[in-house]
Amino acid sequence: MARILIIDDDGDVRETVVRLLELDGHEIAAPPSSRDVSAAIEAGDYDLVVTDVIMPEMDGIEVVRKVRKARPNCPILAISGGSSSMSSRTLLHMVGALGADATMKKPFSRAELQAAIGALLVGGGF
C-alpha cells in the first residue's frame, strides 16, 4: 500500500482520516503541528499528500508549494470545509490552480476518500 502524509490542524479530522486510511493498509504520517509539517515534507518519501486548505500557521497553499518544491511529482489531495469569508468551492479551486492534483469538500465519506486516494495513486486526478 501507499505511504501517505496527512496534514490537518483539526485533530479529530486528522485522526479520523488516519484511522480510515490505516484500515485500508496505508502507512500514515500525520504531524500534529505545522512546525513538524515542513520537516515531514522534506524528509518523507510519500506516495501522496492529503492537506487541509485552511489552517492557522501554515495553510494548504503553502503546503502545496512546499510539496511541489521538494517532491514535484507527488500527488496532492486538498480538502476543505470552507471558511467564514470564502466557500470551500472557491478555496479548492484556488489550491487546485496552484498545484493540487485533486480536491474534496468536507465533510466526505470513507468511500469518497478511498476513491480519491485510489485515483491519485494510479496516476490520475478525479
Amino acid at 23: L
CA 90: distance to chain centroid? 17
Cross-strand partners of 7: 51
Domain 3-121 has CATH 3.30.2270.10: no
Give SS3 for 103: strand
Q: What is the pTM of this model?
A: 0.90
Q: Give domain limits for the chain.
A: 3-121
CA distance 3 to 75: 12
Give me the tens of pLDDT residue by residue for the chain, a chain 126 residues long: 899 999 999 999 999 999 999 999 999 999 987 778 988 998 878 999 999 998 888 888 999 999 999 999 999 999 988 666 667 777 777 787 889 999 999 999 999 999 999 999 987 554
What distance in Å separates the CA atoms of residue 110 and residue 92, rounded to the nearest whole number?
19
Is residue 52 left, alpha or beta, with left meaning phi > 0 and alpha meaning psi from -120 to 50?
beta
